[in-house]
Structure 1
Amino acid sequence: MVAYSQCEYSGLSPASIEAIEAARGDRKPWTGELARVWRKRGKCPFTPNETAFVLQALSIPTNTNMYLAAGDGLVEIEGLKPTYTNVVTKSALLRGEDLLNMHGNTRAALDYYVLINSDSYVATFFRNMDKMVAAMRAYEGLHNTLFLGRRAYVEMTSKGLDGKELLQALWVAHKEDFSMGRGSALPDCFCETVISLYFLLYMI
């Protein structure tokens, strides 16, 4: 999703940038004031690096077991696995031929099944799949669901917050979201032994 958002990203490795540009094709990222406005509104998906940082701000242990849905490419793994080492993807669960023979709808169905049956669910973006998963989890009474605050992250970083100050601010922002009824609250520590992490990052 990072590639298809047409948002500009900094701090990525040359290999990740190359992978994003290859996926974008002729679509060029927004620049100038349009790029700043789009990001300020929280319209840009989190990169895996940003996601890892926010998860740490929410005190989610780095040894948490995670299922990475949708994304299964260089950008996701490069940005997430150095911090969260217990990440499982479809390619790790399925043998090569089985994965190759699985078409797009079946892959999406596998992700959906895992996500609605996981102990916890975290979304880095908010599109159709996220809405369906969140709705089904709410219907089933599975309330350990969290949508990461992209707008809050941009507002805080634009103010120059970083390090421990940014970590604390992100914690407070997510707690306030839930206290104001904008989400299904996770436990106070935001921790579970197993968490399903849904990435809408359709990369290679």
Structure 2
Amino acid sequence: MQILPLFSKHKVVHFNKTDARLANNGISLDLQRLRCRVNFQALKFTPQIEALGNKLVHLLRDKGPFMALHLRYEMDMLAFSGCTQGCTAEEAEELKRMRYAFPWWREKEIVSEERRSQGLCPLTPEETSLVLQALGFDKDMQIYIASGEIYGSERRLATLRAAFPRIVKKEMMPDPKELQQFHNHSSQMAALDFMVSIASNTFIPTYDGNMAKLVEGHRRYLGFKRTVLLDRKKLVVLLDLYQNGTPSQNDFEVAVRLAHEKKMGQPSHRRVIVVKPKEEDYFYANPLECLCKQRDCDDLLGPGKRNSSEVSS
């Protein structure tokens, strides 16, 4: 049977046995570009989500430029990652109980300090405040919190709010009733955050989960909009030194900025790990083949850089 008539009739085609992630590399240029057109142009949210998402964006833009901060300091994120930086002993125990309550979660005993030193923990709201200031963001910057409920609620946002008073959440909309239809539907609330994040002047994720990667790639597709990809492994070292009195504030700021000079969403090749494809860079986070005119992308990256990101093992 021909697929096109079915597609024309139903508008959607579901292919069986395609739930596994598609390969990132080694695919024809035509197919890669088709993936981009489907993901970044054809896929749409429901009319209700689109309408409210667009309204949120317009409300924010009316008040000037804004940053979307994907602050992944949420209870489930902390529980399953085992990250307890900034938590009290009671909170750390609560997070551990949550992790043990889910039999399917294999990793039960996690050393938070080890995980954090490897760059595998989201930054805390307090750490995020220091990093944003070091990167030179003005205190009057409008910041949209693109996440669910922050663990510890307003108490944990106090430091960030003191440094950047213009913090906005979707729950602070003029008419809260408009959000009621999405309550208890976390994926739909996340879709609203996604729309705002795509439209923001600057996007900063404090953890590189699936949503952060999709937003990163979509913003690249829209013309390499500024996306600050935090180097958490370097940052935790700098943050710990700074909070212990070294280096000076000026040296700390210089070090943070130098660490992120090339992490602003600029054109770059994906990292390719031939023997460990699950650990290589995600195609949708950096769909470079869709963004350049030449097959080797020399027009974006300059000549001689095409293999610099390949890792064989």
| Structure 1 residue corresponding to 2:128, chosen from 51, 56, 67 | 51
Cα 1:30–1:9 change in 2 (3 A) is: farther
Structure 1 residue 108 displacement after superposition: 1.2
Structure 1 residue 172 and structure 2 residue 253: aligned? no
2:160 counterpart residue number: 80
Asked if the contact 1:66–1:87 (Cα under 8 Å) also holds between the matched residues in 2, the reply is: yes
Partner SS for 1:121: strand
Asked if the contact 1:43–1:150 (Cα under 8 Å) also holds between the matched residues in 2, the reply is: yes
1:35 counterpart residue number: 112
**Which stretch shifts more, 88-97 or 47-56?**
88-97
1:90 counterpart residue number: 170
Structure 1 vs Structure 2 CA RMSD: 2.7
Asked if the contact 1:72–1:89 (Cα under 8 Å) also holds between the matched residues in 2, the reply is: no
Asked if the contact 1:123–1:130 (Cα under 8 Å) also holds between the matched residues in 2, the reply is: yes
| Structure 2 residue corresponding to 1:99, chosen from 147, 154, 179 | 179
Cα 1:58–1:117 change in 2 (3 A) is: same
Q: Percent identity?
A: 28
Cα 1:26–1:111 change in 2 (3 A) is: closer
1:140 counterpart residue number: 222
Structure 1 residue 99 displacement after superposition: 2.8
| Structure 2 residue corresponding to 1:125, chosen from 192, 207, 228 | 207
Asked if the contact 1:122–1:146 (Cα under 8 Å) also holds between the matched residues in 2, the reply is: yes
Alignment-mate amino acid for residue 170 of structure 1: V
2:30 counterpart residue number: none
Partner SS for 1:81: helix
2:83 counterpart residue number: 7
Structure 1 residue 98 displacement after superposition: 3.3
Give the greater-gyration-radius structure (CA): 2
Cα 1:163–1:95 change in 2 (3 A) is: farther
CA distance in 2, matches of 1:107, 1:80: 22
CA distance in 1, matches of 2:131, 2:178: 34
**What TM-score does the superposition give when structure 2 sets the normalisation length?**
0.49
Alignment-mate amino acid for residue 53 of structure 1: L
**What TM-score does the superposition give when structure 1 sets the normalisation length?**
0.72
Gap runs ≥5 in structure 1 = 186-204
| Structure 2 residue corresponding to 1:149, chosen from 196, 209, 231 | 231
Alignment-mate amino acid for residue 44 of structure 1: C
CA distance in 2, matches of 1:169, 1:131: 25
Partner SS for 2:143: strand
Structure 1 residue 128 displacement after superposition: 0.3
Alignment-mate amino acid for residue 171 of structure 2: S
Alignment-mate amino acid for residue 174 of structure 1: H
Cα 1:91–1:46 change in 2 (3 A) is: same
Gap runs ≥5 in structure 2 = 1-71, 101-107, 267-313
CA distance in 1, matches of 2:165, 2:92: 23
CA distance in 2, matches of 1:124, 1:56: 14
Alignment-mate amino acid for residue 89 of structure 1: K
CA distance in 1, matches of 2:84, 2:109: 7
CA distance in 2, matches of 1:22, 1:98: 33
Alignment-mate amino acid for residue 170 of structure 2: K
Structure 1 residue 30 displacement after superposition: 5.7
CA distance in 2, matches of 1:47, 1:89: 17
